[in-house]
Structure 1
Amino acid sequence: MLLKDKVAIITGAASGIGKAIAELFSVEGATVIVADLTQEAGEEVVKSITSKGGVAKFIQVDVSNEAQVNRLVEETINEFGKIDIMYNNAGIAMPLSNIEEVDEALYEKMMSINMKGVFLGTKAVAPYMKKAGKGVILSTASTAAVRPRAGLNIYSASKGAVVAFSKSVALELAPYGIRVNCINPSATNTPMLEEEHLKVFIKTMPLGKIAEPLDIAQAALFLASDYASMVTGVDFNVDGGRSV
């Protein structure tokens, strides 16, 4: 088991990529904190994990709220004694929009969840990992961060910020034995992927297909495991060659 006896927080874990990561991390031996705003779906993920012999707990959280993120981390520490892996996965997509169609409310929402959530999660867990002298922080960015598409202007900006932030924090926390990386998925078969996006995206994929959540989870498993002990400050493309 690659994550035996590890404790992992995964935000946005009630569905899609986050759910796949939570389930795979559990199979590999981790105790999983399923953190999400959606309680019913999150508790279903916990039920699925525990029914297979895993250890999991649901904690409701709005990742854009600092008090709630701090409570998530503190509750995990109080119950399990440590946090080995923090996965900032929660995020939202946007409809294809010309820049003049994007209002300030959409901009604020996109940045608040996609970037602020990563910032708050990283900030909250860093002191505990520093004290432990080790830890892994992962975040979900996007290939839109490195190869933006027309019509995804603010989404691309929010995910580009995640990449830059992760690289900066990787340098800051490396002396404490903490590795910080992010994953750039391409279009992935999740409830967030709209049909209009799918038709556009699949034409640009060299492998001729979109990713499944498990594809992203397997990359996350590698980066969270000791197999990646020399990997930090990386934005890891899982995109079927789209970024080439």
Structure 2
Amino acid sequence: MKYGMSRRHRGITLIELIVVMGLMIIMIFALGYGFTGGLDLQRVSAKRREEYSAMEGVDRRITRLLQSAFLSATANDTSSFFIGEMDEGGKSEDIGCDRLVFTTIAPSIPMASLESADDFETQHRSRGPIGGLSEVSYGTRAVGTPKGNQSGLFERVQTPSDADNTQGGMESLLSSQVQKIGFQFWNGTDWVAEWDTTVAGQRRLPASVKVTYTLNTATGSSGSDNSILHVFIVPLFTSDVTADNPVTTTTSVTR
């Protein structure tokens, strides 16, 4: 007589079930962490792109106007100048002076004026003077009264330039993210903190201008300062200042 062999089916123990559930929980947490990390990286990357875009816009604008800086060869011409100084007579810092005023031929005729069918007199009355030598001023202290308590880097442009380099023209906020700005000038041998072509014997443009500014970014949850210090140098091609022909009547930067 033959008897069939019975098969035993082994069940899942409680310990094995706990181990499997634990592994599943770990995998879920790992996937969630990876997804959250990817979103955070995307947000940080977008923020960095915004910051560098803001810096690029400021750099490009200042560079274009500075490289077209113009200074008349006539010694007593008060309508062209290049002045770097501290606002309200303050002391220059390590990054230089905080106010730059100069004349430039860079501002172009607005497209609206080029496309307009109005004659010169009509455009002059509606838009003011168009073209010619312009006076440009940069600083974090507004010359006029800013709208809505605005703060940042202000740009003032007056066309044509006149003998008063302290006011006039149209002032606008170039960047609300710039907290602090400084200008230094290469005199042929060293970086100096001030420049003034209205002083006798110094009617020359610097060889280069070093621009340093602090860009304000979002403050972290801990309240830490996340500002960015940015530096760029603008060579002035119309300058005759060299190492062999320097300017010596300028104030050196305090180190």
| TM norm structure 1 | 0.25
Q: Normalised by the size of structure 2, how large is the TM-score?
A: 0.25
- Structure showing greater Rg: 2
Higher percent of residues as helix: 1
